[in-house]
Amino acid sequence: MPPRPRIGAGAKRKAEEEAGGAQGGTPKGPKTPAKSLKPPVELQYEQEPPRRPGGHLAPRPVALHCPRTPSQLPAPGDQLCFMSLDIIDEGQGRFNVWGVTAAGASVLLRLHGFCPYFYIAAPRMQEGERPDAECEWDEQSLKRLKASLNRFTPPSGRIESIEALQAKPLMYYRPDQPDGCTFLKLQLAPGGNAKAAGEGVARAMSALRGEGLLWRDRDLYESEIKPLQRLLVDCPLSGGAWLHLPPATGSAHSDGWSPVPEGQRMADPEWDPLAPIIRGVGAAGEAAAGEAEAAAEGQPRSTPASASQQAQQAAAAADQAMRAATEAARRGDIAPLRMAVMEVCTATADGVDRSAVPSKGDPVVAIACTCFTFSARGHQGEVAQAGGAPTDAIGLFQVNDTLAVLTQRFESLGLSTPGDGSSASTVAGSSGSSGSAGSVGRGLRLSRLLPRSGKPVGIHKVTNYSAQWAKDKQRLSAGSNQETWRVKDMDGRLVVDVVRHAIAAQSQLASYSFADCVQTLLGETLEVLRPCRLAALAGIAGPPQQPLHRQLLPPAAAAEADAMRLARYALRRCDAVCSLLHRLATVPDTVEMARACGLTLRQAMYNGAMQRVHSLLLRAARRRGFLMPVQMQKSDLKETTFIQHPVECGTVGLYKDPVAILDFASLYPSIYRAYNLCYSTLLHDAQDVARLPPDAITVSPRTVEDARTGQKGWGQGPAFVKPEVRRGVLPDVLTALVTARAATRELLRGATDHATRAVLECRQRALKITANAVYGFTGTNVSPLQSVEVGDACLAFGRRGCETAKQVLEAAGAEGRLGPLGAGAAVLYGHTDSLFCRLPHAPDATSAIRTAREAAKVVSAAFPDPVEIKVERVCQPFLLLHVNRYAGRAFEREEEAQSGQGELICKGMRSMWRQSAPILRTTLHGALVRILMQDDLRGAIDFVSSEVRRLLSGRVELSELVMTGGLWRVTGEQVERAAAGGKRGAEAEDIRQPHNALAVRLRQRDPGFSTVLGQRLPYVLLAGKGKQDESSEDPLTAAKAGEVGDFSLYWKNKMKTPILEVFEAAVPPGQRAAVVQELSGGDHTRIKVDALSPPPPAVGPASPQPGSARSGLGGPHTPGKRAGMAAFFKQVPKCLGCKANLSGYSGPLDDAPGLCESCAGTGGRLVDTYLSLLEEQRGAEARQAAAYAACRACHSGGACEPVLCENGECPVTYTRLACSSRLQLVDGQLRRLDISF
């Protein structure tokens, strides 16, 4: 069997030359293969005889040539320094810590002997005349108490030892016990069940009272802490932390590490040390926030208290390895990670246009994998190798055999090029990576553990909120609730869901699809092929329909060309994931978040803000001798944020004077620090308040309402001790986070290297997000440690602070303290932590910025440190519509104001709503640009009129009408039941919105179509279909069927109200009525088009005829089938000249005469009509040619193969289909004129 020619040798040399020349420069993301495929590897195709009769020669697997030099291994007796990659709880007190050394060698650190524990208050003795005497807890007393408690605990929660210590409860400041009291640490055996033990101890507290033991405090402390979190806090460890272990001096279970004998190894990395849990771990680097916390408390860095004396002496020696680990931790280095990006392509077994379902026999036709190395040095070093460019290996397998053969070949690729990280693109709600990866996951082993210890890859769903929880909320503050996928049982490898990270980090995404991420974040288009197209390229359901290369090439060469196209398609998607990794800085962002919060990398990716703050609080409490209680009773907050409503205050309108936007810098974190708000400083009741002098406490405000007048005022709320009495734990944590962020931003200003800046930017963002989450942690009822008193106090201080700032600012302007330009300063609008102040006497934005800065100083002086208000920007002009809905021409610096280089800002406007149709967004944005940036109100009115005229005349692309709706409250199971006819009761109400009803119809047409909770579904509203629930349709399906939108509905229901809202506020009162009448009822609104006779389905010169639906299953409201009112009308041909109905004609529409009798008798009408049609044809052909040129620059078929892309996120796709439909319509009209030369 002769081998096929190798592909990519020239590209390899060229890429190596470019890589060599680019050393030391700014790292860039990978080039897209659609424009330039330069894999620096060799891909070799081989052929085998077909396995089924009559089949054509199918391309076989691509051989991968990627030799890799093994990383340098530490020798026995050497110091071991590595970065932790993953920490897995194996149960029974055992943990696996996977890591990577600075040289790139993989490490598995096996920890064992971890004993869970929790705390209880020490009981008192009831003895004769002393009914409440304190106990002397000697060794014998503790043994007797252990025996008594174990009578009530199950075997899984048996107490092994009890230790007496001095500690303080985190909740409440107790004036009678400021330094705490005696607590008992109950330690279990390795793998013990702390929850079961706690339940037994709670029963014992009541039962042992008869034996002379009395518990005044029956709370359990830290009994709900999971073993993994306890390990991270005690050692301390975190994902991305640099660890240092000295070599063992004796046996394998002595201090330090020692290699595991060959026969006892359980993993395949280069080094597999084994160390005891207590004595073998020394963490050279902790989380960035942990360093700042220690610095804020004035404590030097040290090894954990759990390390042995010998390990502490070894650390104090500060040998070279220890110093290297410490410096790596302080810089924030990221060890070399071998990344593998995987793409799985599935196809339909029968070649029908439907969703592929691998679990029901649809095959996997290709798996592509791109491997590259990512590493970054911190702010004092240089970039070792920037992430982004796939410079190591590219491999692809394409077979027509069983899934087992394919997964076996991919396993060989994964094991031959072991990777520390993997990236998977989850295309939610489609037949892309989610379903395909689930199919490959069954039986695929990618764990770093040896086969006898590893498990097949598993994939399960992950979501933030349940459908019922979201249904009970009026609105959700989260940006998304997208149900995504999480990979498990891939020990030693970290799987990164790039799309999940994009959804969490970017709020401008419209549909959450992979193509939307690529288009929005990278500014590039991505080819999307339906599973039936992939089946044709793979030769499963026969060759594609009459492509040019199949007419010119022999069958074997044509089959190879199809395989190469499939390879380019799969590799292009892998490359897009690499680019997203680089663009989003996914790896640095995950590592820095884990370091900042003390979590593993998996927890940083999938856990929310509550777990992050809880981890920091637990660490800080342990350091200061506090004990955290279990979850308390849940309740709702009573206080609200500050709002000065512009509608109620009558301040809605357009302001030509400068308006300064003043913003409190981190208001809630500053309030916690300024007023020492914390669980540990809160006073429980009035008796505790009376025990302290008045100058030692701070009483928070509380909103009170007068029963007679209904007016709200301020009363006294919970009391807190001042820092002089006790410094709160939360203020300490926030101080550490703010200090660390300030230091990071200072380093960021001086950093010039791109990768270093990415790491520092991710670090400061992680610190900011964590600090801002502290208020939510104390106030929300989903927090593991909610305190209504602390949360309400923060809100009350914030609201009163904004009111105070407003009063001080307006008084300073009236008293002249802001200078002559600040006279008459008035707050137009305020919300939460922002004030919008009008400066009527400031002549321009430059002077307004100076005046606003002076006002910020005056207001900040009225608050305790560190509460401070700053000037965010100055807007001139400024348009205020509603709460959180405004726009303006903004200037942030005096230089911008002097040069006039302001930018348009929009907050909460419909032009920013991702669910709005593009026609509405562009119309509103264009109007705002003319009103605010160009001071051209007449031009804005004319622009809106022209856009409405273009819409109502049907001269808009279908892509401009696409809206999206989120399935936040509807699960895939509900959609499936409704599609099967199971809509009943409340569930029927859940699917009555347009996007929900569309999801049901799509499921009815295509049984393989599935949705996930939180998925955003694009849809358009079509003409003649009745209600919106019935008229909603998949945009791409509608475009292929030649459907048109309901233009009148879009104008009246979607565009009219938000447009009039803007102009009612922007137009002076004397002209308002006339402008509103002109916009809502002018000549541009009286244009109508015939929406009941749409153009024929799109058929391009290089595009096969599409089906009428996503599958041949029909179902209700199949595209192409007339529905609604359109079913009751008969189409009548129209005159191409005057557009009148040809009522006297009853034959076929295509054979109707082109002109009526009146137009036919008018001289020159025939020529004018013919020339106008030719002009329209020429314009459509030019647009179609441009669309196909753009598609060919992106697709994988080269110059000769057809354009098969069906990317519903790309406007060019709709242009291509619309031009094909329009050209067919114009050709039919020209034939009706019957002109021959």
Element (H, E) at 853: helix 845-860
Q: Tell me the angle at which helices 937-952 and 918-928 cross, rounded to the nearest 10 degrees.
A: 160
* Cα 790 to chain centroid, rounded: 30
CA distance 463 to 672: 31
Let me know: does 366 contact 398? Beta carbons within 8 Å: yes
Q: Residue 448's CB: how many other CB atoms inside 10 A?
A: 24
Does the structure show a pLDDT above 50 at 272?
no
Does the structure show a pLDDT above 80 at 1190?
yes
Does the structure show a pLDDT above 60 at 1002?
yes
- Give me the mean pLDDT over the 276-302 stretch: 32
Helix/strand number for the chain, H first, E second: 40, 36
486 pLDDT band, cuts 50/70/90, is: confident
Supply the pLDDT for residue 927: 95
User: Which two structure tokens, joined as six digits, stand for 147?
Assistant: 């025996």
Supply the pLDDT for residue 319: 60
Contacts of 749 (CB under 8 A, 6+ apart): none
Supply the pLDDT for residue 937: 94
Supply the pLDDT for residue 542: 64
Does the structure show a pLDDT above 60 at 1095?
no
Supply the pLDDT for residue 1097: 58
- Give me the mean pLDDT over the 461-481 stretch: 58
CA distance 347 to 1099: 23
Does the structure show a pLDDT above 80 at 1191?
yes
544 pLDDT band, cuts 50/70/90, is: low
Burial 341-365 (b: 16+ CB within 10 A, else e): bbbbbbbbbebbbbbbbbeeebbbb
Higher pLDDT among residues 550 and 1020, named by residue: 1020
1128 pLDDT band, cuts 50/70/90, is: low
- Give me the mean pLDDT over the 114-128 stretch: 84
Contacts of 500 (CB under 8 A, 6+ apart): 426, 462, 482, 484, 605
What single DSSP character describes residue 876? E
Supply the pLDDT for residue 806: 94
CA distance 4 to 560: 10
Q: Which residue has the tokens 């291509």?
A: 1216
* pTM: predicted TM-score of the whole model, two decimal places: 0.83
Q: Tell me the angle at which helices 586-597 and 555-584 cross, rounded to the nearest 10 degrees.
A: 40
Supply the pLDDT for residue 799: 93
Q: Which ranges of 252-366 does DSSP label H, i.e. alpha helix?
A: 288-296, 309-316, 320-331
Q: Which residue has the tokens 């050497």?
A: 78
Higher pLDDT among residues 293 and 594, named by residue: 594
Let me know: does 83 contact 286? Beta carbons within 8 Å: no
- CA of 658: how far to CAs of 427, 650, 806, 888, 1062, in Å? 46, 18, 17, 10, 19
Let me know: does 346 contact 362? Beta carbons within 8 Å: yes
Does the structure show a pLDDT above 80 at 60?
no
Does the structure show a pLDDT above 60 at 916?
yes
801 pLDDT band, cuts 50/70/90, is: very high
Least confident of 459-463, 640-644, 901-905, 1119-1123: 1119-1123
Supply the pLDDT for residue 265: 65
CA distance 411 to 417: 10
ω into 175 cis (within 30 of 0)? no
Q: Residue 79's CB: how many other CB atoms inside 10 A?
A: 18
513 pLDDT band, cuts 50/70/90, is: confident
Using alpha carbons, select from 1185, 1212, 1113, 1070 the residue that is nearest to residue 519: 1212
CA distance 978 to 646: 44
Supply the pLDDT for residue 985: 44
Does the structure show a pLDDT above 70 at 312?
no
pLDDT in tens, 834-865: 999 999 999 999 999 999 999 999 999 999 99
Does the structure show a pLDDT above 80 at 1124?
no
Q: Residue 318's CB: how many other CB atoms inside 10 A?
A: 10
91, β-bridge pairs: 94
Does the structure show a pLDDT above 50 at 673?
yes
pLDDT in tens, 164-188: 999 999 999 999 888 888 999 999 9
962 pLDDT band, cuts 50/70/90, is: very high
663 pLDDT band, cuts 50/70/90, is: very high
User: What is the percent of the chain where pLDDT is above 70?
Assistant: 74
- CA of 1131: how far to CAs of 68, 1126, 1222, in Å? 69, 9, 18
Supply the pLDDT for residue 505: 73
Supply the pLDDT for residue 555: 80
pLDDT in tens, 2-41: 333 333 333 333 333 333 333 333 333 333 333 333 333 3
Supply the pLDDT for residue 867: 93
CA distance 1105 to 1094: 17
Higher pLDDT among residues 1092 and 860, named by residue: 860
- CA of 524: how far to CAs of 26, 151, 225, 1191, in Å? 21, 68, 46, 12
- Give me the mean pLDDT over the 964-982 stretch: 81
CA distance 120 to 224: 13
835, β-bridge pairs: 662, 830
Per-chain mean pLDDT for the chain: 77
CA distance 836 to 872: 10
Supply the pLDDT for residue 430: 27
Let me know: does 1229 contact 1166? Beta carbons within 8 Å: no
Supply the pLDDT for residue 934: 93
Q: Tell me the angle at which helices 729-750 and 609-623 cross, rounded to the nearest 10 degrees.
A: 110
Supply the pLDDT for residue 69: 62
Does the structure show a pLDDT above 70 at 423?
no
Let me know: does 450 contact 268? Beta carbons within 8 Å: yes
Task: Report CA torsion sign: 51, 53, 57, 59.
Answer: negative
Supply the pLDDT for residue 545: 61
CA distance 517 to 511: 9
